[in-house]
Chain A
Amino acid sequence: MVRQVVVEFRDVGKVYRMGWRRRGVRALGRVNWSIHAGEVVGLLGPNRAGKTTLLKVLLSLCRPTEGRVLRLGRPGTDRRTLARVGFVHENQALPRYLSPQALLEYYGALTLVPYEDVKRRVPRLLERVGLSDRAREPIAGFSRGMTQRLALAQALINDPELLVLDEPAQGLDVEGRRILHELIHDLRRRGRTVLLVSHILDEVESLCDRIGMLVAGRLVYAGSLTTLVQPSSAESRQPLERAFDRLIAQLPNGDVTARARVLSPV
């Protein structure tokens, strides 16, 4: 059965213009990648590899300088598809003056979810992330972990077909991570698509069907996790961390040189 392509990057490149002289710094170099419906896909890579930029291009937060993005079968410029997408940002600051309930209602409205649906979903979501007893308290008094749980809840307010998670486990305690994993498993069961960026390799290994690996703005691996951790039948299975190191070592002149090349001025 051919599964629907939910996300497609076609030759996507991004050059940021920095400083007064508008010096060009390349963050992404011609990425080609597809994600299908119902998949949980991990996006890995060292710091400054371009993972967040790739997500931002996907979510129309920044425009690609080359190539194009298809989101839920439509061009990335079509913002209407964003109503079917959920997003958790790595350094998300939620309005501290709102309560969780008010925040979910507000974000639900901006996601164009009918108010009746939002009202119905809010108590369920708050219970799901373990915040139902603090639904009316201001977020200002929340810990980092609680804020992150709320960030997860807001991403689910529209019951998204595609959930994009950028370092969602940051600041979460053991219970918070259990909730996160359960949510992802549940979305997979319901045929939803998840794109997960994480530095926690165990998490990626336990949750994802496929991974993509970005190094210095280039997609150096895209495929199944099994192929990566057990490259041939002759070799024994190795932890993802070792497979990750092996991939980087295979790059010409190693990661550092490659990164320097791609992040250098254009």
Chain B
Amino acid sequence: MDLPGILFVVRWLVRDTFRQALAARTFWLMLSVSALCIVFCLSVHIENGESLRPPGEIELFGGDKQPLTGPNPNPGHMTLGFGLARLALFRDAEAEVHLLQALLGLWAAGTVGMLIVLVWTAGFLPAFLDPASATVLLAKPVPRWLLLAGKCVGVVAFVGFQEVVFFGGTWFALGVRTGVWSRAYLLCIPLLMLHFATIYSFSVLLAVCTRSSVACIFGSIAFWFVCFGMNYGHHAIAALPYLDPNVAPFSTRTTAMANAGYWLLPKPGDQLILLDEALHGDADFDVLPPVFRIFRAKGNFQPRLSCMSSLLFAVLLLGLSAGQLRKTDY
């Protein structure tokens, strides 16, 4: 098939995935969660949140225009839930919004949201590959690998659309309410799409091998935890001597195994570090676990290699899935 033909088929498969999501109510469910978060952001209000760091300055300055050495004597306030909760600002409006964005991007969407999305999208491919519905599609001239790839692109595009709504909506709501327009927050969209695609590739392999939604749900969640554990373990080996100097050094074998597992598997932990760097690498707050912070601070983190190896893993798994589908009898 030529490229226009491939793009034509992929376009229809993407369209079908969105229709499938609409019919399965996944579309509306995810949109509702995004809407809730947007409403939460609309409920934020900041009083007296003037910036303590004038443009071009590194130092913080208090209300008296003198360098700030201790806590802010006259902190502003942030209200949440349309005034239901009132909190003192730890610095100024900008830092407070950055903290909110970090919590939304790293933990709400990057971790909890990722697990929820993996569950909600796990049924798409098994339903598509079920013999009763796939037999006629597989008797069409489109190669099997293209049907599988098109459907995967559809699922990733669907998740991408939901991320655009979530991040675009929360960014806009926070901007309107606080006047802080941090464009770095929108980098979460491509980063999380990449992360979802790498973990979802395992779900694709399970779908092709088992055609079972249950296997895909539990398999992909378990896989995410294994990858996170491996990622955390690898960084912990490097960071523990700094956290606790009395800790016994790890054996060469353990270190080699952690290295192999780390470079082979996708890296959900690194995704958090990347998101944190993209959002507010110079912020006065920490939303990352100490192991990750130290690992990064010691200059061990290699973002490009980390992303490339995760992507390579996804490509290999998709190739394996396509090969398996090609030799499956329907």
CB of B132 within 8 A of CB of A82, answer no
* 8 A Cβ contacts from A91-133 to B: 91-98, 102, 106-107, 109-112
- Give chain A residues whose Cβ lies under 8 Å from the Cβ of B8: 109, 112
Binds A, one of B18-26, B243-251, B271-279: B18-26
CB of B139 within 8 A of CB of A112, answer no
**Alpha-carbon gap, A112 to B136, bound state (A):** 14
Residue of B nearest to A82 (CB): B141
CB of A98 within 8 A of CB of B136, answer no
- Give chain A residues whose Cβ lies under 8 Å from the Cβ of B54: none
CB of A110 within 8 A of CB of B9, answer yes
CB of A98 within 8 A of CB of B133, answer no
- Give chain B residues whose Cβ lies under 8 Å from the Cβ of A138: 23
CB of B330 within 8 A of CB of A56, answer yes
- Give chain B residues whose Cβ lies under 8 Å from the Cβ of A102: 19
**B130 touches which of A59, A87, A88, A93 (Cβ 8 Å):** A93
A80 in the interface (beta carbon within 8 A): yes
- Provided the pairs A106-B16, A109-B8 are in contact, do residues A154 and B136 lie with their beta carbons within 8 angstroms? yes
A83 in the interface (beta carbon within 8 A): yes
CB of B329 within 8 A of CB of A62, answer yes
B298 in the interface (beta carbon within 8 A): no
**Alpha-carbon gap, A93 to B133, bound state (A):** 5
Residue of B nearest to A112 (CB): B141
Task: Say what secondary structure dominates the interface of chain B.
Answer: helix
- Give chain B residues whose Cβ lies under 8 Å from the Cβ of A83: 140-141
- Give chain B residues whose Cβ lies under 8 Å from the Cβ of A110: 9, 12, 137, 140, 142, 147
Residue of B nearest to A17 (CB): B329
**B135 touches which of A63, A80, A89 (Cβ 8 Å):** A89
Closest chain-A Cβ to B68's Cβ sits at a distance in Å of 59
- Give chain A residues whose Cβ lies under 8 Å from the Cβ of B24: 97
CB of A109 within 8 A of CB of B139, answer no
**Alpha-carbon gap, A112 to B137, bound state (A):** 12
A234 in the interface (beta carbon within 8 A): no
B241 in the interface (beta carbon within 8 A): no
A60 in the interface (beta carbon within 8 A): yes
Closest chain-A Cβ to B7's Cβ sits at a distance in Å of 11
- Give chain A residues whose Cβ lies under 8 Å from the Cβ of B133: 92-95
**A112 touches which of B142, B147, B329 (Cβ 8 Å):** B142
CB of A80 within 8 A of CB of B330, answer no
**Alpha-carbon gap, A80 to B2, bound state (A):** 12
A61 in the interface (beta carbon within 8 A): yes
A144 in the interface (beta carbon within 8 A): no
Could you list 12 A-B pairs, sorted by A, with CB under 8 Å? Answer: A16-B329, A56-B135, A56-B329, A62-B329, A62-B330, A83-B140, A97-B22, A107-B137, A107-B140, A110-B142, A110-B147, A112-B9
The 10 A-B pairs at the shortest CB distance, nearest first, are namely A97-B23, A62-B329, A93-B132, A83-B141, A82-B141, A109-B12, A59-B139, A61-B330, A93-B133, A110-B140
